[in-house]
Amino acid sequence: MTFTTTKLLCWVLIRVVATKEGLDLLDKAVHRMPVHYKQHIDGCLSDTIGEHGLSEVELAPMVDAAEKATSDLGNGVIQGAAEILALPTQRDDLAHLDAIAEEMRSRFETLIVLGTGGSSLGGRAITALRPDNAMKLQFVDNLDPATMSGLLDGTDFSRTGFLVVSKSGATSETMAQYLVSFAATQATLGGDASSHFVVITDPFDSPLRHLASVRGHTILDHDPGVGGRFSVLSNVGMLPAAIGGLNTNEVRSGAADVLEQALGSSAAETCPSALGAAICLGLARHRDARMSVLMPYADTLEPFAAWYCQLWAESLGKGGKGTTPVRALGPVDQHSQLQLYLDGPKDKIFTIVETAISGEGHEISDFEEAPASIEYLLGNSIGDLVAAQQLATRNTLIEHKCPTRFFSVPRIEESSMGALFMHFMLETMIAARMLGVDAFNQPAVEDGKARMRTYLENR
């Protein structure tokens, strides 16, 4: 038992003495590092929400298991984790990525990123932060004939670059996207087309690698030890980030802070990811929480929620295990999903991501013809409204006894995004270890791929 009785007592005491003060104390104890975010789990515990929450007796062994899994992560016992955990402290590759980004920005108006699933979601999530004046980025992650035709018909190829991302170098959607995009570019630009393409792929023989080499595209190695859904901190996420004018060093620093704190002691007090995994799996085991709803209150975090869904689903959904991630977005999904969340079956855990958004954006001014019934809006900024809404939703969920944790993110910026990426990657890896599944493979989808290929070959 790494989670000793003393530690459990201490942790429970801090929380129980007085809820708010207890949490503040715990926060102070936990956050010696720069505070990129805080996780609050009180709304998942039976002390707060009664029978739908976890009791300390139920939580303690889950925390033990999570601490053991975290310790295994730090000790290199978990096959496939080391390469991912090496990324946050890596710096020597960033200058090269910045140089490529600088060149692309100078040559092109638009960058089209071709890639599907893990080759796209991380890049999408981090580049949602890019400033308005950044280079135009377009991620094409689905395969749809009308979308591809619309894209290529509307492209000024002379001012457009392509970034093609496929770890295996054989993903059929990405190969199809690439083949028609290159053919269209070449039809317009001839021999110059090749220099418009940058490729990220494994350093092994593959159709994409072969073609990129024959055609003379710039090639970057995909880290062969890092699977797509864990690749956001590698060049797969950092090159789009750099092209979008973001500080990639800060992204990795934020992730490194979280990682260092987590693995420094492997204890739940200093590893919010371990506590998060313990809560999620504890609620799944003891309270039938089949779904994990991630609901951020910021448009810039919408792609982050999609990234999380792949990470959690594909890493854990094996051998009948796993829970289903559901992405939501506040406040809009208050008008779409909240009725079900509050009053439907109690089969979910909710993770609300709140930001310090008060005072941001346009102010709703008072004006002459204002009816009394909207007085409550006047003098507030759009950010004030959103701040009130995220607080109201969190508290309403808790009031309805729905297991709810929330993250406070003071500021959505490169370092806090890096921290959030790392939090959820750690949480997922810890959860996989606790469930006894391999976080890094996806065996079931291979069956569908083989079937698709057979259908095409037998047309």
- When binding is defined by CB under 8 A, the residue of 85, 114, 241, 298 that contacts its own copies is 298
- When binding is defined by CB under 8 A, the residue of 185, 234, 235, 334 that contacts its own copies is 334
* Omega of the bond leading into 331 within 30 degrees of 0 (cis): yes
Binding map of its own copies across residues 215-254, x = CB under 8 A, - = no contact? x------------x--------------------------
Please state, in angstroms and as integers, the Cα–Cα distance from residue 147 to each residue in 89, 114, 272, following that order.
Answer: 39, 13, 41
Smallest gap, in angstroms, from Cβ of residue 31 to its own copies? 26
Burial class (CB in 10 A: 0-12, 13-18, 19+), 375: exposed
Provide DSSP, 430-441. HHHHHHT--TT-
Smallest gap, in angstroms, from Cβ of residue 37 to its own copies? 19
Q: Which one, 176 or 263, has the nearer CB to its own copies?
A: 176
Residue with tokens 């001012």: 159
Q: Pick from 353, 347, 354, 346: which is nearest to 327 by CA? A: 353
Confirm or reject binding of residue 152 to its own copies (CB under 8 A): yes
The interface with its own copies within residues 262-291 (CB under 8 A) comprises 290-291
Q: Which of 20, 51, 335, 369 is catalytic?
A: 335
Residue with tokens 């009180």: 42
- When binding is defined by CB under 8 A, the residue of 382, 401, 408, 438 that contacts its own copies is 382
The interface with its own copies within residues 34-93 (CB under 8 A) comprises none
Q: How many CB atoms lie within 10 A of CB 380?
A: 16
Confirm or reject binding of residue 317 to its own copies (CB under 8 A): yes
Q: How many CB atoms lie within 10 A of CB 74?
A: 18
Q: Which one, 105 or 400, has the nearer CB to its own copies?
A: 400
Tell me if residue 284 falls in helix, strand or coil.
Answer: helix
Q: Which one, 104 or 193, has the nearer CB to its own copies?
A: 193
Confirm or reject binding of residue 343 to its own copies (CB under 8 A): yes
Would you call 449 a catalytic residue per the annotation? yes
Would you call 335 a catalytic residue per the annotation? yes
Q: Pick from 313, 408, 391, 350: which is nearest to 31 by CA? A: 408
Residue 259: partners with Cβ closer than 8 Å, 6 or more residues away: 85, 88, 89, 422, 426
**Which helix (H) or strand (E) covers residue 349, if one does?**
strand 348-355
Q: Which one, 159 or 210, has the nearer CB to its own copies?
A: 210
Confirm or reject binding of residue 367 to its own copies (CB under 8 A): yes
Smallest gap, in angstroms, from Cβ of residue 354 to its own copies? 13
The interface with its own copies within residues 157-196 (CB under 8 A) comprises 170-173, 175-176, 179-180, 183-184
**Angle made by CA atoms 254, 308, 45, in degrees to the nearest 5:** 90
**Angle made by CA atoms 191, 195, 201, in degrees to the nearest 5:** 125
What gap in Å lies between CA 456 and CA 396, rounded to an integer? 51
- When binding is defined by CB under 8 A, the residue of 98, 103, 347, 438 that contacts its own copies is 347
Q: Which of 67, 173, 314, 414 is catalytic?
A: 314
Q: Which one, 90 or 396, has the nearer CB to its own copies?
A: 396
What pairs with residue 138 in β-bridges?
112
- When binding is defined by CB under 8 A, the residue of 135, 357, 409, 419 that contacts its own copies is 357
Confirm or reject binding of residue 374 to its own copies (CB under 8 A): yes
Q: How many residues in the shown chain lie near its own copies by CB under 8 A?
A: 116
Q: Which one, 13 or 378, has the nearer CB to its own copies?
A: 378
- When binding is defined by CB under 8 A, the residue of 336, 356, 410, 411 that contacts its own copies is 336
What gap in Å lies between CA 101 and CA 96, rounded to an integer? 9
Tell me if residue 132 falls in helix, strand or coil.
Answer: coil
The CA dihedral of 272, 273, 277, 280, to the nearest 10 degrees, is 60
Confirm or reject binding of residue 452 to its own copies (CB under 8 A): yes
The interface with its own copies within residues 393-412 (CB under 8 A) comprises 393, 395-396, 399-400
The interface with its own copies within residues 190-209 (CB under 8 A) comprises 206-207
**Which helix (H) or strand (E) covers residue 405, if one does?**
strand 404-409
What gap in Å lies between CA 45 and CA 320, rounded to an integer? 26
Report the amino acid identity of residue 12: V
Smallest gap, in angstroms, from Cβ of residue 47 to its own copies? 21
Q: Which one, 90 or 381, has the nearer CB to its own copies?
A: 381
- The piece of 105-113, 142-150, 191-199, 423-431 that touches its own copies (CB under 8 A) is 142-150
Contact at 8 Å (CB) between 83 and 226?
A: yes
Smallest gap, in angstroms, from Cβ of residue 252 to its own copies? 24
Catalytic residue positions, numbered: 314, 335, 449
